[in-house]
Amino acid sequence: MAVSEASSDEILIQNHDRIVVITLNRPERMNAISRDMLEELSQKMTEANKDPEIRCIVLTGAGRGFCAGLDLVDTAKGGIGSGSGSGSNRPKQLFDLRDAPINVMWNIDTPIVCALNGAAAGYGMDLSLLCDMRVAAESSKMAAVTAKRNVVPESGGTWLLPRLIGWAKAAELYYRARVVDSAECLELGLVNLVVPDDEVMDTAMQWAREIADNAPMAVQTTKRMMRMGLEESYDTAVDHLMVHLGAMFQSDDFQEGVKAFMEKRKPEFTGR
């Protein structure tokens, strides 16, 4: 079973054994997100997360940019976030982001590696921060420039960035609308590693393969517990961990992990 590679021209899907690569594909617009891309990105992320054979997702962009943010031309025309109908007759609905990529990416348990191949701005910066780890090309950069457009980091950035780099540094980036190059991103802890441009995908795939070689139940449970732990007390988090651990001790993969250790060989995990 694999994630369907049937997709639009704006989102490309490639299956590599237990890894799915999702590529934002509007290089002529620096991969600015259109309305159709939002829906498809959510769909493919959800599909990958539900596939028991997929153990890691790699997210990247085509061309020289990762993602320039939401397509402002589309937004100005009412393309992104608009309801059906037009004018005063358009029905009013409650604001609902449950199926938006930013919420889907936050809530899935399958790890996501970002191959940050170029500039990430606005929504694109938030997409990169929602990945579990980021391998950055030397030419890449993050642009926290929403204040220059009279908008806010609406895609989770104001929640994510202070937790990643601290309040003062997050405030500096947002209030000053700073563009941060790859070297400073590494210094701040916004990315895990900086590599030459032509090595970013190979390195991201190497990391993804290492993740895929590990026990998927352990990796996904760890991600879920880390996510939930941000809002839990220490005692509650430990209690939840013990509940999961009890089930994992009964799994075939636990027996395989112990057996492989004793036999001094690489384990072959099945997810069962």
Taking the alpha carbons of 190, 194, 119, 34 in that order, is the dihedral positive or negative? negative
Domain 216-263: state its class: mainly alpha
Confidence label for 85 from pLDDT (cuts 50, 70 and 90) = very low
How do residues 153-175 score in pLDDT, each as one tens digit? 878 899 999 999 999 999 999 99
Query: Measured between alpha carbons, how far apart are the two ends of the chain, in Å?
Result: 16
For helices 252-263 and 216-229, give the axis angle rounded to 10 degrees: 110
SS3 57: strand
Q: Where exactly does CATH 3.90.226.10 map onto the chain?
A: 11-213
pLDDT in tens, 41-83: 999 999 999 999 999 999 999 999 999 998 866 655 555 544 4
Element at 46 (helix H, strand E): helix 35-50
What was the pLDDT predicted at 87?
Answer: 47
CA 29 to chain centre: 21
In angstroms, the CA 148 to CA 185 distance is: 20
Q: What is the mean pLDDT of residues 218-245?
A: 94
Class of domain 11-213: alpha beta
pLDDT at 154: 77
Question: pLDDT > 70: what percent of the chain?
Answer: 89
DSSP letter at 138?
T
Q: Mean per-residue pLDDT for 128-136?
A: 97
